[in-house]
Amino acid sequence: MPERASTSNGNIASPELSLEAASEWTTEDFQAAEPYPIPEITESMLNDYIEQMMSPSAKGGSTLPGGPPSATDAADGEDAGQLTGHPYPPPFNQHEVLAAYTTYPYCSIGKLFFKQGTGSYVASAASIGKNGIWTAGHCVHSGNGQPSGWSTNLVFVPAYKDGAAPFGQFTMRQLWCRTNWYQNGNPGGLFEDMGAAILNPLNGRTLSQVVGWLGFAWNFPRNQVWTSLGYPAAPPFNGQRMFQDTAPYANDGSVPGSPHPIGIGCSMTGGCSGGPWVLGLASTNYVNGHNSYRPNNQPLEIYSPYFGDNAHSLMQLVVK
């Protein structure tokens, strides 16, 4: 298929696929896929980039609500307040999700399977409305600035557990990421390592009708407590179960670009990429970050791009 990229407000999309071009994964495909390595940064990588870092301007927090699946087919101040953090290793509370994955909001989170280059990989993602999902930019594009960098044969399996797909597989129609990630990759594009996808309906129903969707929050203060969720698959995890990690703001990331990413304590491994950071899990259920990258010498910390107007503009493109 010839490349026909779409661009909009700092976002870029893959060519749109027909439903006939989509294909599901077999159980053997699931088992053969490898955890996508969490992108890591080193000081030498950062030293290759000489770029003035600027703090984001103060803005009000905004939200859009989420919602449970259908029963039938039918804040001012990003810098508001005293910014406090934690030295490494920052505190966090992590455990396997013990609630039934098929209950909301957990059913709106799932495992992502895709191919990139010559590899087959697993990562994590969340439903954000209609047929849209949210994940990390590196899960939908390799960040090499080339049309060949788009992931292919991507499927989303909500509430995946021990090889089971209780709601089926939702195949990709179109992928989106921030242009800064597409062009600059690691480390120059990590501050906008944001990805999203429009999926095909399944059996005549949209993704959000089947599993519900998480709300979305942007331009919020950094002093928050998030619950990060995902499917870590690299040792000591095996990718068969969903884990959750509750942690407060720890510090700002040091990669080039502005606004600075946000760091929290977390020991999840490859495969958790793209898993949502949720504000008010089981209450407001707002996506306000996701698992993106970590410093190579700090395995107990993980970072997300700060969600400002850039994240909101990308979200709008996949839930229109």
How would DSSP label each residue in 88-108? SSPP-EEEE--S-TTSTTGGG
Cα gap 102→207, rounded to integer Å: 14
Q: pLDDT, tens digit, for every residue of 219-230? A: 999 999 999 999
Q: pLDDT, tens digit, for every residue of 27-37? A: 999 999 999 99
Average pLDDT over residues 239-263: 97
Reply yes or no on whether the pLDDT at 76 is more than 80: no
Reply yes or no on whether the pLDDT at 56 is more than 60: no
Reply yes or no on whether the pLDDT at 296 is more than 60: yes
Q: Are 18 and 222 in contact (CB under 8 A)?
A: no
Query: What percent of the chain clears pLDDT 90, i.e. is strictly above it?
Result: 85
At 7 the pLDDT is 85
Q: Average model confidence (pLDDT) for the chain?
A: 92
Please count the CA atoms within 13 angstroms of the CA of 11 that sit on its side-chain side. 24
Which residues, at least 6 apart from 108, have a Cβ–Cβ distance to it below 8 Å?
66, 126, 127, 158, 211, 212, 213, 214
Query: What percent of the chain clears pLDDT 70, i.e. is strictly above it?
Result: 91
- The dihedral region occupied by 184, where left means phi > 0, alpha psi between -120 and 50, and beta the remainder, is alpha
Signed CA dihedral, 88, 91, 97, 103: sign only = negative
Q: Are 221 and 80 in contact (CB under 8 A)?
A: yes
- Every domain of the chain and the residues it spans: 6-47+86-318
Among the ranges given (74-78, 140-144, 268-272), the one the predictor scored with the smallest mean pLDDT: 74-78
At 81 the pLDDT is 56
Q: pLDDT, tens digit, for every residue of 160-212? A: 999 999 999 999 999 999 999 999 999 999 999 999 999 999 999 999 999 99
Cα gap 189→143, rounded to integer Å: 8
At 43 the pLDDT is 86
Is it true that domain 6-47+86-318 has CATH number 2.40.10.10?
A: yes
Which tokens belong to 39? 């992108």
At 32 the pLDDT is 95
Q: Nearest-5° angle of CA 256, CA 56, CA 224?
A: 100
